[in-house]
Structure 1
Amino acid sequence: MEIKTVAIIGLGAMGILYGSHLAKKMPQADLRIIADQQRIDRYIKDSIFCNGQQCEFHYVTPEEKTSPADLVLFTVKHSGLEDAIRAVKNQVGKNTLILSALNGITSEARISQIYGHDKVLYSVAQGMDAVKEGNRLTYAHMGFLCFGDREPGSSSSKVKRVADFFAKMEFPYLVDTDMPKRLWGKLMLNVGVNQAVAVYGSNYGVIQREGQARDTMIAAMREVIVLAEKEDIDLSEADLDYWLGVLSQLSPEGKPSMRQDVEAGRYSEVELFAGTVIELGKKYGITTPVNQSLYDQIKAVEVGY
């Protein structure tokens, strides 16, 4: 069954990035941006811009009755996941496939509890360096969306459906046959880069060069490697080197989402990153001092909001 209609929930950096690309490749009515009426009114009044170009989006409220979408993309922050799950109810039908581009290792399981494991493919967004300020997004590298089946070692017809669609849309993607490891690898990356850049107050450049920020980032990532082994996930120093290579390709002037949150006075995803590491450390009796320190420093900033 060919994918023809797409629903995106969440117009943060990733939602704008993916939405603006797809909007240029498919009929406007076939790409639905799901948002409540208050948000829609604001988007229309202020407009949304991507690399200086105004985005022409087709907005749909959660209450609006439409045919189910063939593909639903979750691009919200973790704090907005529960509302987003409810908001896409009218978009999910018998043959709908779902990709969650959220950070962390838990969103797929939560979405599956509501809509079923048969609809959810595991996915990870990586390589993007988008910066969102107000209603304007700028980026140099779009990155790509990596996805695959929940069970390692398989590549189903559902994965092929999405891959065929992305190829047709010229949407950068990669199919991975070990998505649990990929999810943990992305968690390791975020635990390092998001938190180190947020605490040391700069951009990607601060962790691309030698120094305290980079050392802290790597130390935080190594704490994830130890915990992954306890969860039967085969993360290693080679994987850490791979993700450092991904970071080296990003624009030095770009900023990860947590740094953008701190600058804007928004609450961050620290619970999703250091919070997850700390809780798993307690579960297995393993100390995680670097992530504890990063957690405490970021929380201290948020107390002042």
Structure 2
Amino acid sequence: MEIRTVSIIGLGALGILFGNHLSKRMPKADLRIIADRDRIKKYESNHMYCNGEPCEFNYMTPEELCEPADLIIFTVKYDGLNDAIQAMKNQVGEQTIILSALNGITSETVIGETYGMDKILHCVAQGMDAVKIGNKLTYEHMGMLCFGEGQPGVISTKVNKVTEFFEKMEFPYQAVIDMNRRLWGKFMLNVGVNQTVAVYESNYGQIQKEGQARDTMISAMREVMVLSEIKGINLNEDDLNYWLDILSTLSPGGKPSMRQDLEAKRYSEVELFSGTVIKMGEKYCIPTPVNQQLYDKIKFVESQY
């Protein structure tokens, strides 16, 4: 069976970005934005905008009964994942395929504990430079979703179904046969980019050029490379250069979500990035001084709220 219905939970930058794109290409009733009643009321009264255009979304509460979705996309922040998993119970059926666009390297496992790893495709969102302020999202580069099975070298029926759907929707994507490496590579990028831009109170432009901020970013990424060797992922210089090339395509004025969080005095995903690196380093007796420094600075900023 082909993918016809899609449910998205999380109307942050990625949720709006993906939802807006799909809403222009599929029947309104077939694209569901899942949210509680209070959020839906807020979304409907304020409207959501993507590059200046109002988004036409079909909202549904978690309690509403419906046919299970063919495809689910999680776009919440990590601290909202457990609530989101519970909220999607009525959307999950036997044939449902699940993609998680969350940062980090663990969300697929967390979702799979509830719904089964057989429904999960490993996924990363990369290459987007979206900035969300209030109910307005702006971006120059939509980026893409990269997805694949957790087992290297496998192109499954699930992968083919999502590929066919994204082709039909003109949705930027890449089917990947080594998703563990891609997940770790994206994690390495986030650890470097998100935290450095947040600490230096800057934007992508500052870390796209030579200087102290870029040096800090790359040093933080190299600490992830060392840890990846212990996990058998073995990220190398080619991986580092691949992700630096992705970084070079982003709008210089754009900012990652962590920078946007600190500007808005929201608590960030620092535990997901340097927090994870530090704990892993302690476990395997690997020093992670750059990530420790970034972690301390971000936690200090958050302590001043």
CA deviations over 1:134-184 (Å, ceiling 9, x no partner): 000000000000000011111101100000000000000000000001000
Return the alpha-carbon distance in structure 1 between the equivalents of residues 173 and 158 of structure 2.
15
Return the alpha-carbon distance in structure 2 between the equivalents of residues 265 and 152 of structure 1.
40
Letter in 1 for 2:51: N
Q: Which residue does the alignment assign to 1:40?
A: 40
SS in 2 for 1:154: coil
1:124-273 equivalent positions in 2, closer than 5 A: 124-273=124-273
Return the alpha-carbon distance in structure 2 between the equivalents of residues 304 and 8 of structure 1.
34
Give TM-score scaled by structure 1 length.
1.00
Letter in 2 for 1:297: K
1:205 Cα offset (Å): 0.4
Q: Which residue does the alignment assign to 1:64?
A: 64
Q: Which residue does the alignment assign to 1:89?
A: 89
Return the alpha-carbon distance in structure 2 between the equivalents of residues 237 and 196 of structure 1.
20
Following TM superposition, where does structure 1 have runs of at least 4 consecutive aligned residues deviating by more than 6 angstroms? none
Q: Which residue does the alignment assign to 1:120?
A: 120
Letter in 1 for 2:31: L
SS in 2 for 1:224: helix
1:238 Cα offset (Å): 1.1
Q: Which residue does the alignment assign to 1:277?
A: 277
Return the alpha-carbon distance in structure 2 between the equivalents of residues 54 and 26 of structure 1.
17
SS in 1 for 2:268: coil
Q: Where in structure 1 are there 5+ consecutive unaligned residues?
A: none
Return the alpha-carbon distance in structure 2 between the equivalents of residues 166 and 87 of structure 1.
25
Letter in 1 for 2:279: E
Letter in 1 for 2:132: K
Return the alpha-carbon distance in structure 2 between the equivalents of residues 141 and 155 of structure 1.
27
Letter in 2 for 1:237: E
Q: Which residue does the alignment assign to 1:288?
A: 288
Letter in 1 for 2:304: G
Q: Percent identity?
A: 68
Return the alpha-carbon distance in structure 2 between the equivalents of residues 214 and 205 of structure 1.
10
SS in 1 for 2:43: helix
Q: What is the Cα-based RMSD across aligned positions, in Å?
A: 0.4
Return the alpha-carbon distance in structure 1 between the equivalents of residues 127 and 300 of structure 2.
29
Letter in 2 for 1:63: E
SS in 2 for 1:132: strand
1:234 Cα offset (Å): 2.1
Return the alpha-carbon distance in structure 2 between the equivalents of residues 237 and 150 of structure 1.
23
CA deviations over 1:231-286 (Å, ceiling 9, x no partner): 00020011001100000000000000100001010000000000010011011100
Return the alpha-carbon distance in structure 2 between the equivalents of residues 223 and 244 of structure 1.
15
Give TM-score scaled by structure 2 length.
1.00
